[in-house]
A and B are shown apart, each in its own frame.
Chain A
Amino acid sequence: MRRGLALVEVLLAAGLLAALGGAVLLMTGQSVDALRVDRVRMGAEELCRATVERFGRGEDNLQARLSPSVEAGVLTGENLWEQMPEVYAAMGFPRAAEQARRDGLAMKVRLRRGAEPGLDVLTCEVAFRATRLPERVVYTRFLLHDHVH
């Protein structure tokens, strides 16, 4: 009668357990990575959306923060949180600069004045790198002038 497991069986069991542990660690890593990708994407989307919501009204004086571009009637700006950190902190992004450095965020804002008579077009684009491929989110808002009469 044989007691216990043979050496081959022990080695096989150990190998299986190691493979199982490795697979579980791999899956856990993938889950953590999926959460990170999701966090980066959602962070970039939130920043882009909040910018359009905050400055996407005729009452806002966003043009004061933007610079004229070579294209006539178009004003542009980049990474607005650097120019007005207090505004972005009030918008819920007190660590926007840190977030941008960590996640490789780059914002471009473009305001086309008088795209149509009485109408401006505001576009905010945030590029980011959540995976190997660069991604971007773009939101556009049409702004009606308040006073035309």
Chain B
Amino acid sequence: MIMCTERRGAGALLVMVLVLLGVLAVAGGAASVQRSGTGRTYGRLVDGRLLLDAGDAALTEAIAHLRRSADGAGALPGVCEDDWRVVLAGAFLTGAPRATGRVVHPLRARASFAAQGIAIGDVRVDVVVAYPGLAAPPSGQVALPRQGVLELAVRLEGDRPLLGRSARVVRQRWIFYATEAPGAKGRHLLTFVLPPHPLGTVIE
């Protein structure tokens, strides 16, 4: 009888120890899951926003280079090898029947985001729509502005452990084009306008 009681006592203790370990495991696991979960959520939030910002910065810088080139600076060595005044004039003449796939190098955006572990590729620029008709207006008149759509795309890669993937940011922008009356030397004045606000953004 005494042995039976001792066994019961030992069994009760064993059950208590097991319950204690179980509760500790559940509590510890819950705290660990909570801590890693909140940290991971925060990391994903920041990395996702960084990714978007890097894409936005690269495409915005590309637009600045395109504007400068189309405004008369021509090709920008190391940044933009094409003269976008010529490219856009050609696109409006032909109606941009196929993608041109020209490239702009967003050097400043690349440098800005490299410290945060995001690698920015080259920006590919296509004139996806351009309403044709480059004929000069009659003397003394100004033609209505014509419009087209540029598509800019950039691929981003992150070396941050929580990012761990690449993304492609695509954005479209209106482009307006106007032909003014011939100048004194008989040359037409061309104006290209790239508004600052995009039509929309897609992240793939």
Contact = CB atoms under 8 A, between A and B. Distances in A.
A38 B37 CA distance: 10
Interface in A94-149: 115-119, 121, 137-146, 148-149
Contacts of B31: 27, 30-31, 34
A13 B193 CA distance: 81
Nearest to B24: A23
A144 B13 contact: no
Q: What are the nearest 7 A-B pairs in CB distance?
A: A27-B27, A38-B38, A119-B64, A142-B60, A142-B57, A144-B196, A34-B35
B34 interface: yes
B203 interface: no
Chain A interface size, as a band, is: 35 or more
A33 to B, nearest CB: 8
A5 interface: yes
Given A116-B64, A119-B61, 19 more contacts: A1-B5, A2-B2, A2-B5, A16-B16, A19-B20, A24-B27, A27-B30, A28-B27, A30-B35, A31-B30, A37-B35, A49-B49, A119-B108, A139-B49, A139-B50, A142-B57, A142-B60, A142-B61, A144-B63
Nearest to B193: A149
Nearest to A137: B46
B116 interface: yes
A89 interface: no
27 contacts: A5-B9, A16-B16, A16-B17, A23-B24, A23-B27, A28-B27, A31-B34, A34-B34, A35-B38, A37-B35, A38-B39, A38-B42, A41-B42, A45-B45, A49-B49, A116-B64, A116-B108, A118-B68, A140-B53, A140-B113, A141-B56, A141-B57, A144-B63, A145-B64, A149-B71, A149-B191, A149-B193
A24 B67 CA distance: 63
Contacts of B12: 9
B5 A12 contact: no
Contact of B108 (A20, A58, A115, A137): A115
A9 B49 CA distance: 58
Interface residues of B, number: 44
Given A23-B27, A24-B23, A118-B68, A6 B16 contact: no
B42 A42 contact: yes
Contacts of A116: 61, 64-65, 108
B28 A27 contact: yes
Contact of A1 (B2, B50, B193): B2
Contact of A45 (B38, B42, B60, B109): B42
A118 B67 contact: yes
Contacts of B45: 45
A88 to B, nearest CB: 20
A27 B38 CA distance: 16
A118 to B, nearest CB: 5
Contacts of A20: 20, 23-24
B155 to A, nearest CB: 18
Nearest to B42: A41
Contacts of B38: 34-35, 37-38
A143 B108 CA distance: 13
